[in-house]
Amino acid sequence: MNVLFLSISPIANAAGHSISLDLLHEFQKNGHNVYIVCGLERKENAETTLSDEAGCKVLRVKIGNNKKANIIEKGITTVMLPSMYKKAIKKYFSDVKFDLVLYPTPPVTHFETVKFIKKRDNAKTYLMLKDIFPQNAVDIGMMRKSGVKGILYKYFRKKEKKLYAISDRIGCMSQANVDYVLGHNPEVSADKVGICPNAIEIQDVRISDEEKTSVREKYGIPLDKKIFIYGGNLGRPQGIPFIIECLKAQINNPDAYFLIVGDGTEYGKLEAFTGSMDASNIKLMKKLPKEDYDRMVAACDVGMIFLDHRFTIPNFPSRLLAYMQAELPVLACTDPNTDIGKVIADGGLGWWCESNDVAGFNSAVNAALAADLKALGKNGYDYLEGHYTSRIVYETIISEIKDGHQ
Protein backbone atom coordinates (compact mmCIF):
# COMPACT_ATOMS: atom_id res chain seq x y z
CA MET A 1 0.00 0.00 0.00
CA ASN A 2 0.89 3.64 -0.37
CA VAL A 3 0.32 5.09 3.09
CA LEU A 4 -0.04 8.83 3.67
CA PHE A 5 0.50 10.20 7.17
CA LEU A 6 -0.73 13.72 7.94
CA SER A 7 0.59 15.66 10.93
CA ILE A 8 0.66 19.30 11.92
CA SER A 9 3.67 18.62 14.15
CA PRO A 10 7.15 18.99 12.68
CA ILE A 11 9.21 15.86 12.11
CA ALA A 12 12.90 16.64 12.41
CA ASN A 13 14.18 13.22 11.43
CA ALA A 14 12.09 10.44 9.90
CA ALA A 15 14.62 7.87 11.13
CA GLY A 16 13.95 8.84 14.73
CA HIS A 17 11.60 7.38 17.31
CA SER A 18 8.20 8.66 18.36
CA ILE A 19 4.70 7.26 18.62
CA SER A 20 3.99 8.23 15.02
CA LEU A 21 7.36 7.32 13.50
CA ASP A 22 7.53 3.93 15.21
CA LEU A 23 4.16 3.03 13.69
CA LEU A 24 5.22 4.22 10.24
CA HIS A 25 8.43 2.19 10.52
CA GLU A 26 6.24 -0.84 11.21
CA PHE A 27 4.35 -0.20 7.96
CA GLN A 28 7.68 -0.01 6.15
CA LYS A 29 8.87 -3.29 7.66
CA ASN A 30 5.79 -4.92 6.18
CA GLY A 31 6.43 -3.70 2.66
CA HIS A 32 4.30 -0.57 2.50
CA ASN A 33 5.40 2.75 1.01
CA VAL A 34 5.22 5.59 3.51
CA TYR A 35 4.64 9.25 2.68
CA ILE A 36 4.63 11.93 5.39
CA VAL A 37 3.14 15.42 5.20
CA CYS A 38 4.04 17.53 8.23
CA GLY A 39 4.22 21.13 9.28
CA LEU A 40 7.18 23.48 8.93
CA GLU A 41 6.47 26.54 11.04
CA ARG A 42 7.03 30.01 9.63
CA LYS A 43 9.46 30.87 12.44
CA GLU A 44 11.87 28.28 11.01
CA ASN A 45 12.42 30.59 8.00
CA ALA A 46 12.37 27.73 5.50
CA GLU A 47 10.27 26.88 2.47
CA THR A 48 8.24 23.76 1.65
CA THR A 49 10.55 20.87 0.83
CA LEU A 50 10.30 17.20 -0.19
CA SER A 51 13.02 14.82 0.91
CA ASP A 52 13.84 11.11 1.05
CA GLU A 53 14.52 10.02 4.61
CA ALA A 54 14.79 6.56 6.10
CA GLY A 55 12.88 5.12 3.16
CA CYS A 56 10.04 7.65 3.52
CA LYS A 57 9.02 10.57 1.36
CA VAL A 58 8.78 13.52 3.76
CA LEU A 59 6.95 16.64 2.61
CA ARG A 60 7.45 19.50 5.03
CA VAL A 61 4.88 22.19 4.31
CA LYS A 62 5.46 25.78 5.32
CA ILE A 63 2.61 26.78 7.65
CA GLY A 64 2.00 29.45 10.28
CA ASN A 65 3.31 29.12 13.79
CA ASN A 66 1.62 26.56 16.05
CA LYS A 67 3.84 25.52 18.95
CA LYS A 68 4.30 28.20 21.63
CA ALA A 69 2.04 30.51 19.62
CA ASN A 70 -0.79 32.58 21.05
CA ILE A 71 -4.30 31.24 20.61
CA ILE A 72 -5.13 33.58 17.71
CA GLU A 73 -2.02 32.67 15.71
CA LYS A 74 -2.51 28.99 16.51
CA GLY A 75 -6.14 29.23 15.39
CA ILE A 76 -5.25 30.88 12.08
CA THR A 77 -2.60 28.23 11.41
CA THR A 78 -5.12 25.47 12.13
CA VAL A 79 -7.76 26.98 9.85
CA MET A 80 -5.30 27.57 6.98
CA LEU A 81 -3.68 24.14 7.23
CA PRO A 82 -5.95 22.24 4.77
CA SER A 83 -5.45 24.64 1.87
CA MET A 84 -1.67 24.61 2.39
CA TYR A 85 -1.53 20.81 2.61
CA LYS A 86 -3.78 20.24 -0.40
CA LYS A 87 -1.72 22.63 -2.51
CA ALA A 88 1.51 20.89 -1.52
CA ILE A 89 0.10 17.39 -2.10
CA LYS A 90 -1.15 18.38 -5.55
CA LYS A 91 2.29 19.75 -6.43
CA TYR A 92 4.53 17.04 -5.01
CA PHE A 93 2.36 13.90 -4.91
CA SER A 94 0.22 14.34 -8.01
CA ASP A 95 1.41 11.01 -9.42
CA VAL A 96 0.91 8.99 -6.22
CA LYS A 97 -2.29 7.09 -5.55
CA PHE A 98 -2.73 6.66 -1.82
CA ASP A 99 -4.42 3.56 -0.44
CA LEU A 100 -4.55 4.58 3.22
CA VAL A 101 -4.52 7.93 5.00
CA LEU A 102 -3.53 8.02 8.67
CA TYR A 103 -4.05 11.24 10.62
CA PRO A 104 -3.88 12.01 14.32
CA THR A 105 -5.64 14.85 16.04
CA PRO A 106 -4.89 17.64 16.52
CA PRO A 107 -6.06 19.30 14.36
CA VAL A 108 -9.68 18.55 13.46
CA THR A 109 -9.21 20.61 10.29
CA HIS A 110 -7.47 17.62 8.69
CA PHE A 111 -11.00 16.99 7.38
CA GLU A 112 -10.53 19.02 4.20
CA THR A 113 -7.25 17.32 3.29
CA VAL A 114 -8.59 13.84 4.06
CA LYS A 115 -11.73 14.55 2.01
CA PHE A 116 -9.57 15.57 -0.95
CA ILE A 117 -7.41 12.41 -0.85
CA LYS A 118 -10.37 10.12 -0.25
CA LYS A 119 -12.21 11.50 -3.26
CA ARG A 120 -9.13 11.62 -5.51
CA ASP A 121 -7.71 8.18 -4.70
CA ASN A 122 -10.61 6.26 -3.14
CA ALA A 123 -8.34 5.82 -0.14
CA LYS A 124 -9.23 4.26 3.19
CA THR A 125 -9.19 6.83 5.98
CA TYR A 126 -8.09 6.14 9.57
CA LEU A 127 -8.36 8.73 12.33
CA MET A 128 -6.04 8.24 15.30
CA LEU A 129 -7.85 10.27 17.94
CA LYS A 130 -5.24 11.71 20.31
CA ASP A 131 -7.10 14.85 21.41
CA ILE A 132 -10.85 15.43 21.64
CA PHE A 133 -10.98 19.01 20.48
CA PRO A 134 -12.59 21.55 20.94
CA GLN A 135 -14.02 20.15 24.21
CA ASN A 136 -10.57 19.84 25.77
CA ALA A 137 -10.04 23.57 25.21
CA VAL A 138 -13.40 24.33 26.82
CA ASP A 139 -12.52 22.20 29.85
CA ILE A 140 -9.44 24.24 30.75
CA GLY A 141 -10.94 27.65 29.94
CA MET A 142 -9.26 28.30 26.60
CA MET A 143 -12.58 28.32 24.73
CA ARG A 144 -16.25 28.81 25.56
CA LYS A 145 -19.45 27.37 24.14
CA SER A 146 -21.34 30.66 24.34
CA GLY A 147 -20.73 34.32 23.61
CA VAL A 148 -18.21 35.59 21.08
CA LYS A 149 -15.77 32.76 21.89
CA GLY A 150 -18.62 30.35 21.27
CA ILE A 151 -18.42 31.13 17.55
CA LEU A 152 -14.95 29.59 17.48
CA TYR A 153 -16.16 26.56 19.44
CA LYS A 154 -19.08 25.97 17.05
CA TYR A 155 -16.75 26.25 14.04
CA PHE A 156 -14.33 23.64 15.34
CA ARG A 157 -17.09 21.40 16.68
CA LYS A 158 -18.57 21.29 13.19
CA LYS A 159 -15.16 20.36 11.77
CA GLU A 160 -14.79 17.66 14.44
CA LYS A 161 -18.09 16.06 13.43
CA LYS A 162 -17.12 16.20 9.75
CA LEU A 163 -13.80 14.53 10.54
CA TYR A 164 -15.60 11.69 12.33
CA ALA A 165 -18.01 11.33 9.43
CA ILE A 166 -15.36 11.10 6.71
CA SER A 167 -13.20 8.62 8.65
CA ASP A 168 -13.66 4.96 7.77
CA ARG A 169 -12.23 4.04 11.16
CA ILE A 170 -11.74 6.00 14.38
CA GLY A 171 -9.01 4.63 16.63
CA CYS A 172 -9.22 5.85 20.23
CA MET A 173 -6.51 5.69 22.88
CA SER A 174 -8.59 3.79 25.43
CA GLN A 175 -12.06 2.43 26.18
CA ALA A 176 -13.01 5.63 27.99
CA ASN A 177 -12.27 7.53 24.78
CA VAL A 178 -14.43 5.14 22.76
CA ASP A 179 -17.29 5.61 25.21
CA TYR A 180 -16.89 9.39 25.14
CA VAL A 181 -16.92 9.67 21.35
CA LEU A 182 -19.99 7.48 21.00
CA GLY A 183 -21.77 9.13 23.94
CA HIS A 184 -21.30 12.66 22.63
CA ASN A 185 -21.64 11.93 18.91
CA PRO A 186 -24.71 9.69 18.47
CA GLU A 187 -24.49 10.00 14.69
CA VAL A 188 -21.18 8.07 14.72
CA SER A 189 -21.63 4.35 14.07
CA ALA A 190 -20.29 2.23 16.93
CA ASP A 191 -18.90 -0.36 14.51
CA LYS A 192 -16.31 2.06 13.14
CA VAL A 193 -14.89 3.11 16.52
CA GLY A 194 -12.32 1.01 18.37
CA ILE A 195 -9.19 1.14 20.49
CA CYS A 196 -5.93 2.16 18.81
CA PRO A 197 -3.68 3.18 21.71
CA ASN A 198 -0.49 5.16 21.88
CA ALA A 199 2.31 2.71 21.15
CA ILE A 200 6.05 2.53 20.57
CA GLU A 201 8.75 0.25 19.24
CA ILE A 202 10.36 -0.71 22.53
CA GLN A 203 13.97 0.41 22.92
CA ASP A 204 16.41 -0.92 25.48
CA VAL A 205 16.94 2.17 27.62
CA ARG A 206 18.21 0.35 30.68
CA ILE A 207 21.45 1.63 32.19
CA SER A 208 23.78 0.12 34.75
CA ASP A 209 23.97 1.25 38.37
CA GLU A 210 27.27 2.93 37.55
CA GLU A 211 25.63 4.86 34.71
CA LYS A 212 22.74 5.87 36.97
CA THR A 213 25.24 7.32 39.39
CA SER A 214 26.98 9.15 36.55
CA VAL A 215 23.72 10.65 35.23
CA ARG A 216 22.61 11.78 38.68
CA GLU A 217 25.97 13.36 39.40
CA LYS A 218 25.95 15.13 36.03
CA TYR A 219 22.67 16.87 36.79
CA GLY A 220 23.15 17.36 40.52
CA ILE A 221 20.53 14.78 41.50
CA PRO A 222 21.07 13.08 44.89
CA LEU A 223 22.14 9.47 45.08
CA ASP A 224 20.47 8.71 48.41
CA LYS A 225 16.84 9.62 47.63
CA LYS A 226 14.04 8.15 45.55
CA ILE A 227 13.70 10.33 42.45
CA PHE A 228 10.21 11.17 41.20
CA ILE A 229 10.38 12.55 37.66
CA TYR A 230 7.87 14.37 35.51
CA GLY A 231 8.93 14.94 31.91
CA GLY A 232 6.97 16.65 29.16
CA ASN A 233 4.73 19.59 28.44
CA LEU A 234 4.20 22.16 31.17
CA GLY A 235 1.02 23.89 30.07
CA ARG A 236 -2.57 24.32 31.11
CA PRO A 237 -3.49 20.66 30.53
CA GLN A 238 -1.06 19.59 33.27
CA GLY A 239 -2.74 21.64 36.01
CA ILE A 240 0.39 23.49 37.15
CA PRO A 241 -1.22 25.06 40.28
CA PHE A 242 -1.90 21.54 41.61
CA ILE A 243 1.66 20.43 40.85
CA ILE A 244 2.93 23.41 42.85
CA GLU A 245 0.69 22.51 45.80
CA CYS A 246 2.00 18.93 45.72
CA LEU A 247 5.60 20.09 45.66
CA LYS A 248 4.94 22.46 48.57
CA ALA A 249 3.58 19.55 50.58
CA GLN A 250 6.73 17.52 49.96
CA ILE A 251 9.39 20.15 50.68
CA ASN A 252 10.30 18.58 54.03
CA ASN A 253 10.28 14.95 52.86
CA PRO A 254 13.83 13.70 53.50
CA ASP A 255 13.46 10.59 51.34
CA ALA A 256 11.90 11.94 48.12
CA TYR A 257 13.33 14.19 45.41
CA PHE A 258 11.17 15.73 42.68
CA LEU A 259 12.56 16.39 39.22
CA ILE A 260 10.47 18.35 36.68
CA VAL A 261 11.83 18.40 33.13
CA GLY A 262 10.05 20.14 30.29
CA ASP A 263 8.78 23.33 28.77
CA GLY A 264 5.50 25.00 27.92
CA THR A 265 3.29 28.01 28.46
CA GLU A 266 3.15 27.54 32.24
CA TYR A 267 6.86 26.88 32.79
CA GLY A 268 7.28 30.35 34.21
CA LYS A 269 4.90 29.61 37.07
CA LEU A 270 6.98 26.63 38.16
CA GLU A 271 10.16 28.63 37.71
CA ALA A 272 8.80 31.41 39.93
CA PHE A 273 7.76 28.88 42.57
CA THR A 274 11.06 27.02 42.68
CA GLY A 275 12.94 30.31 42.69
CA SER A 276 11.02 31.55 45.71
CA MET A 277 11.36 28.40 47.79
CA ASP A 278 14.38 27.09 49.63
CA ALA A 279 13.71 23.50 48.63
CA SER A 280 16.59 21.05 48.56
CA ASN A 281 14.46 18.24 47.10
CA ILE A 282 12.98 19.95 44.03
CA LYS A 283 14.69 20.59 40.70
CA LEU A 284 13.22 22.23 37.58
CA MET A 285 14.98 21.76 34.25
CA LYS A 286 14.30 22.82 30.68
CA LYS A 287 13.48 20.20 28.06
CA LEU A 288 16.39 17.91 27.16
CA PRO A 289 17.30 16.21 23.87
CA LYS A 290 15.46 12.88 23.64
CA GLU A 291 18.53 10.67 24.15
CA ASP A 292 19.61 12.63 27.23
CA TYR A 293 16.05 12.63 28.59
CA ASP A 294 15.70 8.86 28.13
CA ARG A 295 18.92 8.30 30.10
CA MET A 296 17.69 10.62 32.82
CA VAL A 297 14.39 8.74 33.12
CA ALA A 298 16.28 5.46 33.38
CA ALA A 299 18.27 6.95 36.27
CA CYS A 300 15.12 7.82 38.25
CA ASP A 301 12.76 5.71 40.36
CA VAL A 302 9.13 6.79 39.75
CA GLY A 303 7.52 8.51 36.76
CA MET A 304 4.78 11.08 37.34
CA ILE A 305 1.78 12.09 35.22
CA PHE A 306 -0.38 15.16 35.84
CA LEU A 307 -3.67 16.22 34.20
CA ASP A 308 -5.87 19.18 35.09
CA HIS A 309 -8.82 18.12 37.23
CA ARG A 310 -11.27 20.09 35.06
CA PHE A 311 -10.99 17.76 32.09
CA THR A 312 -14.22 16.05 31.10
CA ILE A 313 -12.59 14.32 28.15
CA PRO A 314 -10.50 11.19 28.87
CA ASN A 315 -6.89 12.08 28.06
CA PHE A 316 -4.35 9.26 27.98
CA PRO A 317 -0.84 10.81 28.09
CA SER A 318 1.81 9.14 25.96
CA ARG A 319 4.54 9.79 28.54
CA LEU A 320 3.21 6.72 30.34
CA LEU A 321 4.98 4.63 27.69
CA ALA A 322 8.39 6.23 28.33
CA TYR A 323 8.11 5.35 32.02
CA MET A 324 7.02 1.78 31.28
CA GLN A 325 9.87 1.33 28.79
CA ALA A 326 12.35 2.44 31.46
CA GLU A 327 10.73 0.05 33.96
CA LEU A 328 9.59 2.86 36.24
CA PRO A 329 6.38 2.55 38.25
CA VAL A 330 3.97 5.44 37.72
CA LEU A 331 2.29 7.94 40.00
CA ALA A 332 -0.61 9.55 38.11
CA CYS A 333 -2.70 12.50 39.30
CA THR A 334 -5.59 13.08 36.91
CA ASP A 335 -9.22 14.00 36.50
CA PRO A 336 -11.67 11.16 37.21
CA ASN A 337 -12.79 10.86 33.58
CA THR A 338 -9.66 9.35 32.10
CA ASP A 339 -9.15 5.62 32.58
CA ILE A 340 -5.37 5.83 32.83
CA GLY A 341 -5.72 5.43 36.61
CA LYS A 342 -7.67 2.20 36.10
CA VAL A 343 -4.99 0.86 33.75
CA ILE A 344 -2.29 1.68 36.31
CA ALA A 345 -4.24 0.08 39.17
CA ASP A 346 -5.38 -3.01 37.27
CA GLY A 347 -1.95 -3.60 35.77
CA GLY A 348 -0.10 -3.17 39.06
CA LEU A 349 1.90 -0.36 37.51
CA GLY A 350 1.85 2.18 40.34
CA TRP A 351 -0.54 4.62 42.03
CA TRP A 352 -3.33 7.03 41.12
CA CYS A 353 -5.15 9.89 42.80
CA GLU A 354 -7.37 12.72 41.64
CA SER A 355 -5.57 15.91 40.68
CA ASN A 356 -7.30 18.01 43.30
CA ASP A 357 -6.23 15.79 46.19
CA VAL A 358 -2.88 16.83 47.68
CA ALA A 359 -3.35 14.40 50.58
CA GLY A 360 -3.85 11.61 48.03
CA PHE A 361 -0.60 12.61 46.33
CA ASN A 362 1.22 12.54 49.66
CA SER A 363 -0.16 9.06 50.39
CA ALA A 364 0.94 7.84 46.96
CA VAL A 365 4.45 9.20 47.50
CA ASN A 366 4.66 7.42 50.86
CA ALA A 367 3.40 4.20 49.27
CA ALA A 368 6.05 4.48 46.56
CA LEU A 369 8.80 5.02 49.13
CA ALA A 370 7.79 1.78 50.84
CA ALA A 371 7.17 -0.28 47.68
CA ASP A 372 9.20 -2.78 45.68
CA LEU A 373 9.79 -0.39 42.78
CA LYS A 374 11.65 -2.92 40.65
CA ALA A 375 8.74 -5.36 40.73
CA LEU A 376 6.24 -2.65 39.84
CA GLY A 377 8.50 -1.38 37.07
CA LYS A 378 8.75 -4.90 35.62
CA ASN A 379 4.94 -5.09 35.66
CA GLY A 380 4.88 -1.90 33.61
CA TYR A 381 7.39 -3.18 31.08
CA ASP A 382 5.46 -6.43 30.65
CA TYR A 383 2.21 -4.50 30.23
CA LEU A 384 3.87 -2.33 27.58
CA GLU A 385 4.98 -5.41 25.66
CA GLY A 386 1.50 -6.89 25.78
CA HIS A 387 -0.58 -3.81 24.95
CA TYR A 388 1.30 -0.81 23.59
CA THR A 389 3.77 -1.84 20.89
CA SER A 390 3.78 -0.43 17.36
CA ARG A 391 3.45 -3.97 16.04
CA ILE A 392 0.17 -4.45 17.89
CA VAL A 393 -1.22 -1.13 16.62
CA TYR A 394 -0.08 -1.87 13.06
CA GLU A 395 -1.86 -5.22 13.11
CA THR A 396 -4.97 -3.56 14.54
CA ILE A 397 -5.09 -1.00 11.72
CA ILE A 398 -4.44 -3.59 9.01
CA SER A 399 -7.13 -5.94 10.33
CA GLU A 400 -9.65 -3.11 10.44
CA ILE A 401 -9.07 -2.08 6.83
CA LYS A 402 -8.57 -5.61 5.47
CA ASP A 403 -11.56 -5.33 3.19
CA GLY A 404 -9.83 -2.36 1.54
CA HIS A 405 -6.63 -2.03 -0.48
CA GLN A 406 -3.83 -4.44 0.35
Which pLDDT does position 172 carry in this prediction? 97
Which CATH number does the domain housing residue 196 bear? 3.40.50.2000
Residue 4, pLDDT > 90, answer yes
Residue 165 belongs to some domain of the structure = yes
Rg (alpha carbons) of the chain, rounded to whole number: 21
E-assigned strand segments in 281-348: 282-286, 302-306, 330-334
Residue 405 belongs to some domain of the structure = no
Are 25 and 166 contained in the same domain? yes
Are 131 and 251 contained in the same domain? no
pLDDT-derived band at 405 (thresholds 50, 70, 90) equals: very low
Are 394 and 383 contained in the same domain? no
Residue 69 belongs to some domain of the structure = yes
Residue 97 belongs to some domain of the structure = yes
Are 395 and 376 contained in the same domain? no
pLDDT-derived band at 298 (thresholds 50, 70, 90) equals: very high
Are 195 and 242 contained in the same domain? no
Are 161 and 291 contained in the same domain? no
Residue 406 belongs to some domain of the structure = no
Which pLDDT does position 344 carry in this prediction? 95
Amino acid making up residue 173: M
Over range 5-11, report the average pLDDT.
92
Are 196 and 107 contained in the same domain? yes
Q: Residue 88 is part of which domain span?
A: 2-201+389-400
Are 311 and 395 contained in the same domain? no
Which pLDDT does position 69 carry in this prediction? 67
Do 107 and 131 meet the contact criterion of CB atoms below 8 Å apart? no
Nearby residues of 302 by Cβ (< 8 Å), 6 or more positions away: 226, 227, 228, 229, 328, 329, 330, 331, 350, 368, 373
User: Helix or strand or coil: residue 214?
Assistant: helix
Q: How far is CA 243 from CA 239, 260, 306, in A?
A: 7, 10, 8
Which pLDDT does position 244 carry in this prediction? 96
Residue 87 belongs to some domain of the structure = yes
Mean pLDDT of the chain: 93
Residue 120, pLDDT > 70, answer yes
Whether the bond between 107 and the residue before it is cis, its omega within 30 degrees of 0, is yes
Amino acid making up residue 77: T
Which pLDDT does position 74 carry in this prediction? 76
Are 194 and 313 contained in the same domain? no
User: Parallel, antiparallel, or unpaired for β 56-63 and 330-334?
Assistant: unpaired
pLDDT digits (tens, 9 = 90+) for 169-198: 999 999 999 999 999 999 999 999 999 999
Over range 18-27, report the average pLDDT.
96
Percent of the chain with pLDDT over 70: 99
Residue 290, pLDDT > 90, answer no
E-assigned strand segments in 123-255: 124-129, 169-172, 193-195, 226-233
pTM: 0.91
Percent of the chain with pLDDT over 90: 82
Residue 374, pLDDT > 90, answer yes
Residue 330 belongs to some domain of the structure = yes
Are 275 and 140 contained in the same domain? no
Higher pLDDT, 290 or 61: 61
Which pLDDT does position 404 carry in this prediction? 42
pLDDT-derived band at 159 (thresholds 50, 70, 90) equals: very high
Which pLDDT does position 403 carry in this prediction? 54
E-assigned strand segments in 145-217: 169-172, 193-195
pLDDT digits (tens, 9 = 90+) for 91-108: 999 999 999 999 999 888
pLDDT digits (tens, 9 = 90+) for 322-372: 999 999 999 999 999 999 999 999 999 999 999 999 999 999 999 999 999
Nearby residues of 12 by Cβ (< 8 Å), 6 or more positions away: none
Residue 289, pLDDT > 60, answer yes
Domains identified in the chain, total number: 2
pLDDT digits (tens, 9 = 90+) for 37-72: 999 888 888 899 999 999 999 999 998 877 766 777
Are 120 and 256 contained in the same domain? no
Residue 88 belongs to some domain of the structure = yes
Are 165 and 265 contained in the same domain? no
Residue 148, pLDDT > 90, answer no
CA pair distance 404, 393, nearest whole angstrom: 17
